[in-house]
Amino acid sequence: MTRTPNSVSLKRLLPTASFVGCADIAVTDAVEHHEACTPGCLFAAISGGRTDGSTLAPQAVQRGAAAVLTHRPLASIDVPQCIVPDVRTAFSQISHALQSYPTRRLGVVGITGTNGKSTVAWLVRGILEANGRPGGLLGTIEYSDGRNVTASQLTTPDSRTFAHWLGTMVRNRTRFAAVELSSHALDQGRVAGTLVDCAIVTNITRDHFDYHGDFAGYRTAKARILPLLKRSGSLILNADDPGSASLAELADSHIQIRTFSIDGGADVTGTIVEESPSGTHFRITAGTDSVEVFSPLVGRHNVSNSLAATVAALHFGLSLKDIAAGLEAVDVVPGRLERIECGQPFPVFVDYAHTDDALRHALASLRPITKGRLICVFGAGGDRDRSKRPLMGQAAAAADAIVVTSDNPRSENPTDIINDIVAGIGDDHPCTIIESDRERAIGRALDLATAGDTVLIAGKGHETSQTIGNQQIPFDDRVVSRRQLTRSRIEQREQEARVRA
């Protein structure tokens, strides 16, 4: 990561801060990890769930830190200190200042919500780029500055990385950015200093209760996107989702609120004309204007995602006709109901659905295009909110056949996780298979399928590894699905050859 040449006065940037050992600190680089310290940098002593950054300040100084940002004076170091009540928020503000406040010079769409963030971000960028407006993207699938792309590590990266990517977008003359803002990032102040032209809230349903405690805490975290809006910005809410729609009551009076809906009664509405395994035909209406769209993306929830992206594109002055062309140009969002084609006589989809709401919507989206049985393979992550596991089982019960398996068990016993899930499915489901080995589970689901059936492989989506214990083991549902489909085809041919013999 290239160091910025800017010098930032902390006294000017943080006027309520106090100082120890100096009257001001001029910062040219700031880091939050003591291992990353270089001579002359500012070390942000951030305290998290497992570490107290203050205890690492002496090591940071040994590595060259010339000053420390901390929430209390530290007697253990002999360098200038800047004292602030919230180190993480101040560090984020410093990070953006060092990059010369890039979001002031970008058209930024910030997206939060339980489900759909990645798809909406992908669609927003796709629409803008199809209309000659280059865009960057920061989210769960990838980080892109308009020229360079790298795999994502977090939905919303740490403050320094986040600001750096945005700054690079400006330097690359990228005009727009679609950024996913997770509830953790919003709650922790990791995106303080960011300004957005559009704040999209896709939906707010149950997730991350292990961190936020309950729905009220989770909703409060999502609502922290509101102060990031520029003065002329638009708050874009899903009128079909009570959680999203409820944020309207928290918005300041100057904020323009725009809504979208499939059910009607919103600023932008969508009407589904026809659904098929190859995509969705729907109509978008905004005021007196309307346009027909055939999106290669499958499912009702992707119509909702398309509407959210449409409202953002309208904010930037695009016409519905141009927006429709952009939507039609997006043929796949990695790991989001991504079709797997190996010549099999039934559709197979890989999806990131890892909450009960997402799984319910994915299954509901596939039901109208399934003539036969709907077969679902899924699991639940270890060391995460245990209470959502039986809820995922309840959601999966909408499938005709279920294969319960592992999905990043981490330090937990996969069997314990599976038992939690199965408790929600119930004893009366006609076809529930338990197979903890995820590859074998995918193979069993595919072996069950015949012409007319649909197979959904849920949970990992675009991910390329499986976390077991402390190990990251290469694993990609898309690659595994193709391998298992090829294996099945070979076995079928061998069997047919034996019959002919």
Report d(CA 91, CA 189) in Å as an integer: 9
User: Can you say which residues are annotated as belonging to the binding site for ATP?
Assistant: 113-119
**Other CB atoms within 10 Å distance of the CB of residue 416:** 12
**Other CB atoms within 10 Å distance of the CB of residue 175:** 18
| Cα distances (angstroms) measured from residue 210 to each of 47, 49, 63, 356, 380 | 19, 13, 35, 15, 14
Report d(CA 407, CA 108) in Å as an integer: 33
Q: Is 172 exposed, middle or buried (0-12, 13-18, 19+ CB in 10 A)?
A: middle
3-state secondary structure of 260: strand
Supply the DSSP string of 425-487, one letter for each residue: H-TT-S-EEE-SSHHHHHHHHHHH--TT-EEEEES-TT--EEEETTEEEE--HHHHHHHHHHH
208: alpha, beta or left, given left = phi > 0 and alpha = psi -120 to 50? left
User: Can you say which residues are annotated as belonging to the binding site?
Assistant: 113-119, 155-156, 182, 188, 190, 384, 407-410, 459, 463
The 3-class SS string of 49-115 reads: CCCEHHHHHHHHHHCCCCEEEECCCCCCCCCCEEECCCHHHHHHHHHHHHCCCHHHCCEEEEEECCC
User: Can you say which residues are annotated as belonging to the binding site for meso-2,6-diaminopimelate?
Assistant: 384, 407-410, 459, 463
